[in-house]
Structure 1
Amino acid sequence: MDPFLTLLHSFSSSLSDSELSSLKFLCRDNIGKRRLEAVQSGGGGFFSILLEQQLIARDKVSFLHILLESIKREDLVSQLNQFVEEGEVYAPDDQPDMHEKRLQKAAMEVICDNVGRDWRMLIRKLGVSEVKIDRIVVANPYNLHEQLAQSLREWQKWKGKDAKVSDLIKALRACNMNLVADKVEQKLLPLNAGTR
């Protein structure tokens, strides 16, 4: 499920009718009158229109920020800021090159197969926030392997092109998971040899 849509859904359920009316009023220059009138209660339809009109997107939240500030919903503004700070908004061109992605994929397979219950320590060492870790655990309550895999993908997404396999190895060693770090290095040897 898209975290941005989840955020918008939580916003829509917390808006009062008068706040929704205010938002519709503020958007009169951007959205046709008929479309705005079709939005009755709850902000779900309103946010759908904003998405369709490309006024907001997961990497384009300034318009939404202004709207929420205008109706004095500081609580929603801070949720939006937290969403942005946690790295949910990222640029597609901020990705590692293909060789680094191949290395990451291989390293992450080894890590998922060899790191057990202590996976949270590793993910914390990589800098992923507790909020994200908890969200991943809730989404995959009985699957340790998937919790770790999702957490590693979250780290990858958050770091973008700064996500390096060397950081994974350093974090493993810092958590005294030297055997896993050695296995990762062994797995990467043939991949690295192919680029020389």
Structure 2
Amino acid sequence: MNFKETKLKGCFILEPKIFKDERGYFMESFNEKTFSEGIGQKVTFVQDNQSFSTKGVLRGLHYQTGEHAQAKLVRVLQGEVLDVAVDLRPNSPTYGQYESVLLTGENQTQFFIPRGFAHGFLVLSDTATFFYKCDNLYNKESEGGLMYNDPTVNINWNFPSEELIISEKDQVLPNLENIRKVW
């Protein structure tokens, strides 16, 4: 596994070693020891989640606050998504900045997003199956969110806005100035 830290300290792009032959392929998608060494810290995942979405579905930007904050290791099992993390750590030099990564079932790239970040993704293929690990259990009372089109963050989704499919809940998330603090 190749680990590349992004401009957002603590966020890593993980590129697996894929072994292909006439039968298909094999790859190790997670190894606790390799992962901990690669990101320079120990993270214990306690919950796995999976979603299926169609082209144009934008999920996010979501996060958990306080003691329920979550780090995530995300990947796409089938399809293609643009995955986005926004730094919401109050004293971070990259506060309000984002990183985007193309995750596909073909490239098998993963994205590690530490606690203190909002996370979301946009489905670019006809369908996509999205899988992620969390290091803390979901807690409804600790939900936070950031509007996907916040003008300060200015995420380039590179997709026609009139074709986006966004839940009612995600359409009314606050802008960066009014978000619920992560801690």
**TM-score for the superposition, normalised by structure 2:** 0.25
Between the two structures, name the one with larger relative contact order (CA 8 Å, sep ≥ 6): 2
- Greater per-residue strand proportion: 2
Larger CA Rg, structure 1 vs 2: 1
